[in-house]
Amino acid sequence: MTKKETTTPAWVKNMLALMDQHSFNPRSLSLRAGLNATAVRDMIEGRSRFPRYDTVQALADALSTTPALLMADGKSAKTKGETFGQDVELLTEIIARLQETAEEMGRELQPREFAAMSATLFRRLLEGGDIPLTKNRAAALKPQIHDLLEYETLRHKKKKG
């Protein structure tokens, strides 16, 4: 019988890189994720090769990532991780500004309407690239959000009337 060749799975490499980035050791990550104190060590040492989804979710939360990115192969995780971080930052800014502008205009948005507007703005910005990823982004977003809210207000009035 030949000795079984072991290789470190990509997700373990991702986890190790993120642990280093967040200054976690195996025990501290295990505890932060709400796992058994030796769970991460067991994963690193190959005793736990295929963790359950809830375990991956807990680890991803503790490492400020997503289960999909944690479990991805190294190459795609890096690319997706960079894009994901930028997308989340942009979407967070859109949501904050949309909420702020709606309140200023005295407009109460239903959850579905709010989500649709956020998605529309997000897609428009990604496709057009006309909003800089800078500190002036909030000022650049405001007019577009204001225009979208006015348009939707007029559209709703025409539907009713």
pLDDT digit string, tens, across residues 37-92: 999 999 999 888 788 888 998 998 899 888 877 887 755 555 455 555 667 777 88
Mean pLDDT of the chain: 80
Question: Given the structure tokens 């909420």, which residue do they identify?
Answer: 99
pLDDT in tens, 79-88: 455 555 667 7
pTM: 0.47
Please report which confidence band the pLDDT of residue 150 belongs to, taking 50, 70 and 90 as the band edges. confident
Average pLDDT over residues 20-28: 94
Measuring CA to CA, which residue among 16, 62, 75 is closest to residue 43? Answer: 16
Q: Of 43-47, 108-112, 126-130, 134-138, which range is least confident?
A: 134-138
Average pLDDT over residues 99-107: 89
Report percent pLDDT > 70 for the chain: 80
Q: For the range 96-101, what are the long-range contacts, defined as Cβ-Cβ under 8 Å and sequence gap of 24 or more?
A: 97/138, 97/141, 97/142, 97/145, 98/145, 98/149, 101/142, 101/145, 101/146, 101/149
pLDDT value at residue 145: 86
The phi, psi pair for 5, rounded to 5°, reads -80, 130
